[in-house]
Structure 1
Amino acid sequence: MTTGGSETLNKGVFGWIERTGNKLPDPVFLFFYLILFVIALSVIADWLGWSAVHPVAIDPDTGQSQVIAATALLSAENIQRIWVEMPKTFTHFHPLGYVLVVMLGAGVAERSGLFGTAMRAGVSGAPTFLLTPIVALVAMMGNLAADAAYVVLIPLAGVIFAAAGRHPIAGIAAAFAGVSGGFSANLFPGQLDALLFGITQAAAETVFPGWEANIAGNWYFIFVMTFVFLPVIWYVTDRIIEPRLGHYSGPLNPSDSKSGDAVSVDDEVQDRPLDEKERRGMRYAGLAVLGVIALWLIMLFGPGTPLINESAAAEAQLTPFYQSLVGGFFLLFLLAGWAYGKGFGNIKTHRDLVDMMSDSMKDMAYFLVLAFMVAHFVAMFGWSNLGLITAVHGAELLQSLDMPAPILLALVVIFVGVMNLFVGSASAKWALLAPILIPMLMLIGVSAETTTAAYRVGDSATNIITPLMVYFPLILIFCQRWKADFGIGNLTAMMLPYALWLLGAGLALIMVWVAFEIPLGPAAPVFAPPPTS
């Protein structure tokens, strides 16, 4: 594979990032080493008598604020707890249930072909002038389809741009920026929300037991982020990237290229009209989506209102509805995928459906291994009280600095963006940062939803410029189908303007959002007093 430009890249800052990041262990072992570190630190902290005064919890015996002391994880009680509660620690890890439930449905929607066909339908036949924003919007929406957006939409964008007389690599860049740079932007919550808010809940519960996550807690924010990022990607593509690439006069399909590096494009990413089977499948899927929406509206407003707790306080009455969204997205993806498969003809019996659901769980094997380690890291960090002590003292420090909340959240965004260059996994980074950031900021009145939103902004922007991003080599191959000598350095330099503009736009968005205290989602304010129980 040609990697022209990589020699220069390896001598610069991105070469240093690539070399340094490659030295990091696999995230599974990274969390194993962190567990060993937490065990050692807990012993030292217990010996030194580290403690903090809980600002909310009251000691029932004295009536005074509760003093939290560090606890050694090598005490007899905690050693017993580690081994006895190991199954419970793993199976009760919130992201595990959230993600597996949603993926059971999403796996059917992906394997039946619904996601791929929907993305093709979204960008095919777009007017040349609107091609970039349509590709970018579908790319951001494509994050609901997880990996399918990378392997279907990005190469398809190159084909469509070429067919429209535009540079195909500009199409690839716009789609890559939307799928990966706009990773958290979307019109609807989805798999990523289930994953991140599962980790958010686990982190919050280390200090505030009983706190419940709402996976729609960033819905308004990510909706607006979509339309903030859309003109940014449009401008950078049409005004910066495509002029630099110059006029394209090569073949209209990479499979026609004479280059030795050319790779034929699979039929699923060709720019061809939907056939009758695909159109029938899309109609069936649309009816299934409407059916699920109607069902949820009936449960909200129909007899008995099962998704409304009418006996609760006004602000808590919709809690069952928010908690039902995980199951709702499972059913939505499952029935829409099933309906599409029936219409298309690749789901003939219930066994085909079960096979697709089983295959989706096979793809989750690595996540299960990682979740096992992360679950024990988060749990043991909580048992040691190190997270709470750090959060309390960190909150006191932030209060003494009297830093405006918009500036504070902007610093979180920048820190996460830099860290993302070295640790690409969104779940691994958040599992590492959430046990500190979530409780610390909750203690000074910043809601968990706000901190999660700030994390998402930082996690998105720099995805597209780090060679450690798992799909980075695949995007390089897509580019080399059109230009054989396109190298790592070329790809990084091309995506850098997107990263800088998206990071700037994301920073401005989070600062304005926090300054005006706009709710981030239903029942998700920017600021909230620390829970009292």
Structure 2
Amino acid sequence: MAETPSSEKSKKLDIVNRALIFIEKVGNKLPDPITLFFYLSVAVIVVSAIANLANLSALNPTSKETIEAVSLLTPDGIRKIVTKTVSNFVNFPPLGTVLVAMLGVGVAESTGLISALLRQVVLIAPAKFITPVIVFCGVMSNIASDAGYVVLTPLAALIFLAYKRHPIAGLAAGFAGVSGGFSANLLVSSMDPLLAGITESSAQLINPEYTVNPTVNYYFMAASTLVITLVGWYITEKIVEPRLGEYNGQINSEEMEELTIAEQKGLRWAGYSLLAFIGFLLILVLPPEGILRDPETLTIIPSPLFQGIVPIIMLGFIIPGIAYGKGAGTIQSDKDIAQGMTQAMNIMSYYIVLSFFAAQFIAYFSWTNLGIILAINGANFLKATGFTGLPLLISFIIVSGLINLFFASASSKWTMIAPIFVPMLMLVGYSPEFTQMAYRIGDSTTNIITPLMGYFPIIVAFAQRYDKNAGIGTLIATMLPYSLAFLLSWSALFIFWFIFGIPIGPGATIRL
């Protein structure tokens, strides 16, 4: 008897589920993330010595200097490890971002603002559209650089919990939008001018007069926002959430009762205070010479507004949180505000310890030059394959994604490989803007499955709030369907754009 389409689909989903279970089990058999980063740090020290003895190196395409693997098992290396331990931790980029933002979130949560707001949202919002809204907000959050990691992802988990859905599915949907769709946006983000500057410098190796403006990928990235939202919606509800099953954890969802008069008053006060805060920011930004514009170029992107987005977000939680507390009667004195901040830091204690070891590992990996050497050699390998046309471009996307597993900084990685690929593709007729667009696809789609991405540990810590057994394997297995689906769908959109020769941004075309 022939199998029905539904039974074939069920078999395929079962195979996918078994594969993800295997990945999760293998990943979670690894030690605790804190211990794992300690072991990885030790491994990097040993590997650096072996790589140095083997004379592992790569030629920097920009400076034409040879980059050699640096051993940390030398007197200088050991001294550097000892003297830089504290600064590695203190200067770990995600640490300050997370803790400062969480101070504000702590106040909003302790006063009851977040709880009341979520209940109000659940009472009025159509449940079937919550998932795409979360993914879309995640994609759009990169306008505020990295703030989405520490604000949207935990809120997404709480929203799913409020709808009596699995909070880790909400966390995954938010993380997928924030990180997997990092390059997509309906607006120009802070990443656009940063990458454009690197692309321009690389293009000028061929044409000294060539210029690249920050909006050159806008049309494609705006369309990508819709694609990522739809694909993220599908993966969450058809693969991730069914696999996670029903949530039976210890954290209960808020009861969906109507808000009390005091809570409604608190929300009104919070809304008024937030509008006043936004109005104040607009006064500092909108005038042509506004204080929060760039003092030299007078631009908004980039500007102090976005460079200081984390403390601004902190105030965006603290001010409405206090206003809500006063209106609802949940704040009696300044001690209640301080207590809310303290509770937030208590929740983050595991992440603080994890950050210490993650910071050492990432610093060691950077000092050894292993990541840069891998990036350059990977690019050279692709160049040597002899591929042309779409096979070359798709291979470039895949190699960019693989390199991203080991060298997560988008701008640093592009600095290393742009001087190879931008001139190479210019010589066969493709514009630097188009090469940059291809790079951004590969760079974004594997963010969500690499522990080397700076914010990966904080997402693990957020997940452990709902499942104490959640580890690196849990997160990788949960996020892998998003990563593969984003890579395939984004590449398909890229191919569509290529075949029909659609402009990729204002004044930017695929071919020179």
Task: Name the TM-score, length of structure 1 as normaliser.
Answer: 0.62
Conserved? CA contact 2:173–2:232, under 8 Å: no
| Secondary structure class of the residue paired with 1:377 | helix
| Secondary structure class of the residue paired with 2:66 | strand
1:292 partner amino acid: F
- Are residues 1:137 and 2:136 paired? no
| Secondary structure class of the residue paired with 2:292 | coil
Q: How far apart in 2 are the matches of 1:221 and 1:99? A: 31
User: Deviation digits for residues 394-427 of structure 1, max 9, x if unmatched?
Assistant: 22123334554455446766x79xxxxxxxxxxx
Match of 2:121 in 1: 122
Q: How much does 1:49 deviate?
A: 1.9
Match of 2:71 in 1: 72
Q: How much does 1:305 deviate?
A: 2.2
- Residue range with higher mean Cα deviation, 449-458 or 77-86: 449-458
Match of 2:271 in 1: 286
1:31 partner amino acid: F
Q: How much does 1:122 deviate?
A: 1.5
Q: How much does 1:473 deviate?
A: 11
Match of 2:346 in 1: 362
Q: Identify if the C-alpha distance between structure 1 residues 93 and 327 changes in structure 2 by more than 3 Å, giving closer, same or farther.
A: same
Match for 2:293 among 300, 303, 308? 308
Q: How far apart in 1 are the matches of 2:362 and 2:251? A: 43
2:94 partner amino acid: P
Q: Identify if the C-alpha distance between structure 1 residues 43 and 316 changes in structure 2 by more than 3 Å, giving closer, same or farther.
A: farther
2:346 partner amino acid: K
| Secondary structure class of the residue paired with 2:308 | helix
Count the aligned residue pairs.
414
Match of 2:383 in 1: 399
Q: Identify if the C-alpha distance between structure 1 residues 42 and 54 changes in structure 2 by more than 3 Å, giving closer, same or farther.
A: same
Q: Identify if the C-alpha distance between structure 1 residues 132 and 13 changes in structure 2 by more than 3 Å, giving closer, same or farther.
A: same
| Secondary structure class of the residue paired with 1:55 | coil
Match of 2:172 in 1: 180
Q: How far apart in 2 are the matches of 1:31 and 1:349? A: 42
- Which stretches in structure 1 are left out of the alignment for 5+ residues? 1-7, 58-64, 159-171, 209-217, 244-253, 255-260, 417-428, 460-467, 477-494, 520-524, 528-533
Query: How do residues 320-335 of structure 1 correspond to structure 2 at under 5 angstroms?
Result: 320-335=304-319
User: Deviation digits for residues 158-204 of structure 1, max 9, x if unmatched?
Assistant: 4xxxxxxxxxxxxx36x7644423434379x99xx9xxx99xx9xxx
| Secondary structure class of the residue paired with 2:62 | strand
Q: Identify if the C-alpha distance between structure 1 residues 433 and 30 changes in structure 2 by more than 3 Å, giving closer, same or farther.
A: farther
Match for 1:508 among 473, 476, 489? 489
Match of 1:81 in 2: 80
Match of 1:455 in 2: 446
| Secondary structure class of the residue paired with 2:103 | helix
Match for 1:271 among 250, 256, 269? 256
Q: How much does 1:352 deviate?
A: 0.9
Q: How far apart in 1 are the matches of 2:332 and 2:504? A: 48
Q: Identify if the C-alpha distance between structure 1 residues 388 and 176 changes in structure 2 by more than 3 Å, giving closer, same or farther.
A: closer
Conserved? CA contact 1:52–1:393, under 8 Å: yes
Query: How do residues 333-344 of structure 1 correspond to structure 2 at under 5 angstroms?
Result: 333-344=317-328
Q: How far apart in 1 are the matches of 2:57 and 2:282? A: 49
- Which stretches in structure 2 are left out of the alignment for 5+ residues? 1-13, 139-147, 202-216, 423-435, 451-459, 469-476
- Are residues 1:22 and 2:32 paired? no
Q: How much does 1:368 deviate?
A: 1.4
Match of 2:8 in 1: none
Q: Identify if the C-alpha distance between structure 1 residues 353 and 510 changes in structure 2 by more than 3 Å, giving closer, same or farther.
A: farther
Q: How much does 1:96 deviate?
A: 1.4
Conserved? CA contact 2:134–2:173, under 8 Å: no
Match of 2:454 in 1: none
Q: How much does 1:431 deviate?
A: 8.0
Q: How much does 1:28 deviate?
A: 1.5
1:181 partner amino acid: A
Q: What is the RMSD computed on CA atoms of the aligned residues?
A: 5.1
Q: Identify if the C-alpha distance between structure 1 residues 469 and 36 changes in structure 2 by more than 3 Å, giving closer, same or farther.
A: closer
| Secondary structure class of the residue paired with 1:369 | helix
1:373 partner amino acid: F
2:37 partner amino acid: F
Query: How do residues 183-332 of structure 1 correspond to structure 2 at under 5 angstroms?
Result: 183-185=175-177, 228=227, 269-302=254-287, 304-312=289-297, 318-332=302-316
Q: Identify if the C-alpha distance between structure 1 residues 45 and 180 changes in structure 2 by more than 3 Å, giving closer, same or farther.
A: closer
Percent of pairs identical after alignment? 29
Q: How far apart in 1 are the matches of 2:509 and 2:464? A: 34
Q: How much does 1:360 deviate?
A: 0.9
Q: How far apart in 2 are the matches of 1:238 and 1:381? A: 37
| Secondary structure class of the residue paired with 1:306 | coil
1:82 partner amino acid: I
Q: How far apart in 2 are the matches of 1:315 and 1:396? A: 37
1:282 partner amino acid: L
Q: Identify if the C-alpha distance between structure 1 residues 407 and 115 changes in structure 2 by more than 3 Å, giving closer, same or farther.
A: farther
Match of 1:157 in 2: 163
1:508 partner amino acid: S
| Secondary structure class of the residue paired with 2:291 | coil
| Secondary structure class of the residue paired with 1:269 | coil
Task: Name the TM-score, length of structure 2 as normaliser.
Answer: 0.64
Match of 2:372 in 1: 388
